[in-house]
Structure formats: C-alpha cells, structure tokens
C-alpha cells in the first residue's frame, strides 16, 4: 500500500521536478564553501582569475605560464563568475559552475533513462517513474556528490557527455529524422571536448554507442541505420565545436601545444598508475545504494527481476564496456569512475522498481529479496544511529550536546532511524527504504558537512603564519612578486595574484623594488651577481600547510641600491 500511495503522490510532473531539484539542491549546493580549495580546484581557479583579470580567454595561463594541458570550458565558467562577482575569492561562488553541471548531469540522465525505458512493460502502469527514480538515485550517489561539489573538469565533461547521449537516443527513437536533437547532441559533444578533450568520448560515449549497437536488440541497430544522417550531422557539429579551440592553439603556439600533447600522452602511462582491478570496487561509490548495486550486478538474480523495468542486458554491457575501457588506461583516480555510475544506476533502479511492485502486491516470504531488503535497512539503521554518536564523541566546537546543531542532528537521524525500524521490520517495505536512503544523504550534506568542516579546521595549527595573512601588507600590493622556486599552486591561489618563477635570476638584477619568494631564507639564496646591487628588507615567512612539517616558504623585499636612499628603502618596507 505504501508503494502505491507513493506512486500516486509523485505521479504529478511538477512534484517529480520539485523532488529532484530539492535533493540536488541539498546535495550539490548546500555549504559549497565549507571545505578548502584543493589542488585541482586551485589550478582551475588560478587560470580563471588570470583570465578574468585581463588575460587571454583562448590561450589561458596559470601563474603567468601557458595552461594548455586542459581545455578551457570549465575555466571560462569560473572566469565568468569572477567577472560577475567582482573577483570573489569565495569558494562557494567559484564552485557554482561545477555544482550546476552536477544538476545538469542528473537532469540529462533523467531524460536519457526515460528514452531507454520508453518501451519497457512497466511504463504502462507507472509512466516515467523508473526514469524519475533513477535521477533521484544518481543525485544521491556518493561519487556524484563529491565530484559535483568540487571545481574539477570531470563533472563538466561527464555531464555534457551524458546530455549528448540523451539527445542521440532521443533522435534515434524518433520514427522520422529529428535534426534538432542531433545538432544539440553535437554541440554537447563539442562541449565535452572543450571540457576534458577526448576523455569522455572514450569513457562515456564510446561504450554507450557500442552497447547500443551490440546489445542484441534489433530495434537499436535499425534505429542507427535509419538515422545515420542525423548521427553524422552530430559528429560534424561536435568536430567543429570541439575542434575550434585546439586548432586555434596549434596555429598560434604550435611548439607549446606539441610539448603539452607529448607530456599529456606520457602521463597516462606514468602518473597515478594503478593495477587493472583498481576500479573493481566501483559499486561502493554509490554510497547508500551500495548493497543494491551489488545485488543488481548478480546477473542470475537481477536480470529476471529488473528486465521488466530497464534494458538490463544493454545496461550491463554498457557498464562492463566502460569498466574495461577505464581499466585499460594505466593512470587511475577515484573520480575517474564517474562514467560507471549512470549504467550502474540504471541497473539498480530496475531492481528497486521490481521490489516496489512485488511488495505493493503482497508481503514477500523469506527469500533473497526479503533478506536483501532487511540487510539494506540494517546497514542504514546502523549509519543513522552512529552519526550522532560520532558527532558527540568528536566534541566539535558548535556541536556540543546542548547546541541547536547537535539537537537537529539527533532529531533528524532519530526520525530516519525510526522510519528504518518500521520499514525494515517485520516486513521490509522498499518505498520507505528508498525514501530514507535519499533523505539520509541530503541530511548528511545539510547537517553533517558543517561538522566535518569544523573537524578538518580543528587540525589546523592557528599559530602558523599563512600566506593569506602575509599578502595583506599594504605597501606590497603595488610591487611585482617573483619566486626563485616554483610555488605550489595552492599558494599561488592564496596569494591572490600570479607569482611567476624567476626564469634566469643570475642573468638579471631587479631594477624596481620586488617581493621575492623562495624555499630557503632569501639572504642565502641571492645570486652572486646581485651582491652589492640590491638590499634585502622586510624578510618574512609562511607555512605551506596546516602543520609545521608541511614546510615553509620565505619572502624578502629586494630594493635596488640605486633606487633611492635608505629612507626610500624604509618606506617601501613598511
């Protein structure tokens, strides 16, 4: 009865949209600025800052040097935010483009799943429910949330690639040519190339198209033959839209472009090398859906159940092809598993819909379905009970047992635990378990992410001098800044401006007062050719991380001897 009531309640289109937007808003946009800017984010943000402050939008730079290793579309998005906000340094605002792309990924996937399940037998009883539920599952999956909340390139390329698949499937499913869908798919494919080159074409588009053509469904191959003109049009549009920037770069800086291409090709086999089976734990990265995801991969059990709701064989081939293609590349990172999530979510959503249907019709006696649902409820119940305990034991500032934040955590996770106890025993009920799984992830983002941020900040040694403090010296703002050693990109971001490395300090002498950075104290680092020609004033230092063991950088104000009197030197040093 619960499943029937829920299906009836959310049969309205506007309620389904409201649910998806609410869950995505909590998971992707809430507390966006809670965590510090990471390494990959700093690279994107520094390039965007230089772009927005007058640099080239077609030949991006990072700390004054050409940044051609990554295509510019994500950088353009962040640079636009910087221009609209007047040069903000607020991470929450700078992460808005990535969070927006995560939302688009969910919406594109919703549309794609609707196309894939259009002919499913279950659509007659509950039109669109499978695709809508799949969108909710994807928006509450752990890896999508973590990648979508950070300013990386991956969420841009994956989102646009899934969008292109939706429009391709939409065009292929039409009985007559529908060129707007194919042109739109081509534009999104071009955006994918401009986000991370051909990576998502290899990890998202290629396995999907291969599975579509080889999944054993004659209708698919017939659609491809019927719409080959539209598919060709999509490829041509993608080549023009995605190839314009690389062609521009090759024409204007061919030597630099060639060097970057060779370096990037070599890095695929030399950096972050992991074994072939590194991605085999991908189901865990669905988070609260991990047990269901594992069950959906048990082909003898899941295929006969899920095939009435989703194209199980096609989705499994899509998933396995993606896994093989990803595993063949020696360079591996956790966030590179993101292309595995869409096909996996299709599979596990089919299993969820099966459970909804059979439990709506009658109670189910003990069997694999019964024990899977009870095990799922038990794991969720333990997590809900453990969350307030962790917060209480951690003793975080602002989360004491008498604080409003802690009381809110107790109430929310207590209600969720009570719902799990009722929905998991004595007879498991799939629809409440699905709802609580979705709500628990949103509750973690809304209530627990601030606690996690406080926990991270508590490890920071507040006595350490940081670059953010040092850079505020008023008399240094108008001076050029240079580094004798390459600065970490996070420190360049913290500096608020470019700090280019001094390419040949032994061949040149500062002719103007200059603030210089180095990994060792400056008086010992000055080239011999500078002796007697510059004076060192206002030495300082700052720490690179949260602990003293993370190391230091040193600064000094260099003033040419001929630049003025001792009084002038003192004025510049103040």
* Mean pLDDT per 10-residue segment, the chain (574 residues): 53 91 96 88 93 93 90 95 92 96 98 93 88 97 95 93 97 90 97 94 96 82 91 96 95 90 75 87 95 96 94 96 95 93 97 90 78 92 92 84 90 93 83 94 91 77 80 80 89 90 73 87 78 80 83 87 52 50
CA distance 142 to 522: 46
Clarify whether residues 372 and 357 are in a common domain: no
| β-bridge mates for residue 22, sequence order | none
Clarify whether residues 114 and 56 are in a common domain: yes
Clarify whether residues 455 and 471 are in a common domain: no
Question: Is 12 part of any domain?
Answer: no
Question: Is 4 part of any domain?
Answer: no
Question: Is 570 part of any domain?
Answer: no
**Residue at which a domain ends, from 459, 483, 504:** 459
Clarify whether residues 331 and 394 are in a common domain: no
CA 532 to chain centre: 52
Question: Is 1 part of any domain?
Answer: no
Q: What is the pLDDT of residue 568?
A: 45
Clarify whether residues 337 and 385 are in a common domain: no
Clarify whether residues 472 and 432 are in a common domain: no
CA distance 424 to 190: 47
With CA atoms as reference, report the closest residue to 502 among 522, 520, 481, 521.
481
Q: What is the pLDDT of residue 1?
A: 44
Q: What is the pLDDT of residue 6?
A: 52
CA 134 to chain centre: 19
Domain count, the chain: 3
Question: Is 132 part of any domain?
Answer: yes
Clarify whether residues 222 and 255 are in a common domain: yes
Q: Which domain holds residue 81?
A: 22-361
CA distance 9 to 416: 20
What kind and span of H or E run contains 558?
Answer: strand 552-560
Clarify whether residues 66 and 177 are in a common domain: yes
Q: What is the pLDDT of residue 99?
A: 97
Question: Is 9 part of any domain?
Answer: no
Clarify whether residues 134 and 206 are in a common domain: yes
CA distance 109 to 117: 12
| β-bridge mates for residue 555, sequence order | 517, 540
Clarify whether residues 265 and 398 are in a common domain: no
Other residues' Cβ atoms within 10 Å of the Cβ of residue 412: 21
Length of the chain: 574
CA distance 231 to 212: 13
With CA atoms as reference, report the closest residue to 136 among 107, 163, 177.
107
Q: What is the pLDDT of residue 507?
A: 64
* 530 DSSP assignment: G
Question: Is 568 part of any domain?
Answer: no
Question: Are 317 and 120 spatial neighbours (Cβ–Cβ below 8 Å)?
Answer: no
Question: Are 231 and 213 spatial neighbours (Cβ–Cβ below 8 Å)?
Answer: no
Question: Is 8 part of any domain?
Answer: no
Specify the 3-state DSSP secondary structure of 469.
helix
Clarify whether residues 454 and 309 are in a common domain: no
CA distance 290 to 33: 28
**Residue at which a domain ends, from 433, 459, 485:** 459
CA distance 242 to 190: 4
Other residues' Cβ atoms within 10 Å of the Cβ of residue 332: 16
Tokens of 297: 């991969």
Cis peptide before 426 (omega within 30 of 0): yes
Clarify whether residues 415 and 471 are in a common domain: no
Question: Are 344 and 319 spatial neighbours (Cβ–Cβ below 8 Å)?
Answer: yes
**Residue at which a domain ends, from 312, 333, 361:** 361
Question: Are 475 and 515 spatial neighbours (Cβ–Cβ below 8 Å)?
Answer: no
Model-level pTM?
0.93
Q: What is the pLDDT of residue 2?
A: 45
């Amino acid at each position: 009865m619960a499943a029937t009531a829920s299906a009836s309640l959310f049969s309205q289109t506007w309620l389904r949209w409201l649910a998806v937007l609410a869950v995505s808003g909590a998971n992707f946009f809430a507390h966006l600025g809670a965590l510090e800017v990471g390494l990959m984010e700093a690279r994107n943000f520094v390039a965007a800052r230089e772009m927005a402050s007058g640099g080239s939008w077609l030949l991006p730079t990072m700390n004054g040097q050409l940044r051609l290793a990554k295509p510019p579309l994500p950088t353009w998005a962040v640079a636009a935010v910087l221009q609209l906000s007047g040069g903000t340094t607020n991470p929450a605002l700078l992460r808005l483009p990535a969070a927006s792309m995560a939302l688009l990924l969910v919406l594109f996937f919703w549309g794609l799943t609707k196309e894939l399940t259009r002919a499913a037998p279950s659509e007659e009883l509950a039109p669109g429910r499978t695709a809508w539920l799949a969108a909710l599952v994807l928006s509450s999956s752990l890896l999508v949330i973590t990648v979508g909340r950070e300013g990386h390139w991956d969420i841009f390329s994956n989102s646009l690639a899934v969008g292109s698949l939706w429009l391709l499937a939409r065009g292929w499913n039409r009985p007559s040519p529908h060129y707007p869908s194919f042109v739109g798919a081509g534009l999104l494919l071009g955006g994918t190339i401009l986000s991370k080159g051909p990576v998502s074409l290899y990890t998202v588009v290629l396995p999907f198209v291969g599975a579509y053509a080889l999944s054993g469904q004659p209708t698919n191959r017939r659609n491809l033959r019927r719409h080959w003109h539209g598919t060709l049009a999509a490829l041509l549009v993608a080549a023009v839209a995605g190839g314009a920037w690389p062609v521009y770069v090759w024409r204007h800086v061919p030597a630099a472009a060639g060097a970057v291409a060779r370096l990037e090709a070599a890095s695929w086999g030399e950096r972050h090398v992991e074994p072939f089976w590194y991605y085999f734990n991908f189901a865990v990265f669905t988070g609260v859906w991990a047990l269901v995801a594992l069950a959906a991969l048990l082909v003898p059990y899941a295929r006969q159940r899920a095939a009435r709701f989703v194209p199980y064989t096609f989705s499994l081939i899509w998933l396995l092809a993606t896994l093989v293609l990803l595993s063949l590349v020696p360079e591996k990172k956790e966030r590179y598993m993101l292309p595995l999530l869409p096909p996996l979510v299709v599979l596990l959503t089919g299993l969820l819909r099966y459970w909804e249907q059979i439990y709506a019709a009658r109670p189910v006696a003990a069997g694999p379905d019964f024990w899977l649902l009870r095990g799922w409820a038990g794991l969720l119940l333990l997590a809900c009970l453990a969350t307030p305990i962790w917060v209480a034991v951690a003793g975080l500032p602002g989360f004491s047992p008498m604080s409003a934040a802690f009381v809110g955590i107790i109430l929310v996770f207590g209600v969720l635990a009570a719902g799990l106890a009722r929905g998991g025993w004595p007879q498991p009920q799939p629809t409440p378990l699905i709802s609580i799984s979705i709500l628990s992830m949103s509750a973690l983002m809304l209530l627990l992410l601030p606690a996690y941020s406080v926990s991270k900040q508590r490890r920071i040694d507040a006595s350490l001098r940081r670059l953010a403090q040092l850079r505020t010296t008023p008399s240094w703002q108008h001076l050029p800044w240079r580094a004798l050693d390459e600065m970490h990109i996070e420190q360049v971001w913290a500096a608020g401006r470019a700090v280019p490395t001094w390419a040949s300090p032994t061949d040149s002498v500062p002719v103007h007062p200059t603030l210089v950075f180095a990994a060792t104290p400056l008086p010992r680092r000055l080239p011999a050719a500078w002796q007697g020609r510059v004076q060192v004033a206002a030495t300082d230092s700052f720490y690179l991380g949260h602990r003293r063991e993370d190391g230091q950088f040193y600064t000094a104000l260099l003033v040419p001897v001929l630049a003025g009197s001792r009084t002038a030197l003192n004025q510049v040093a103040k």
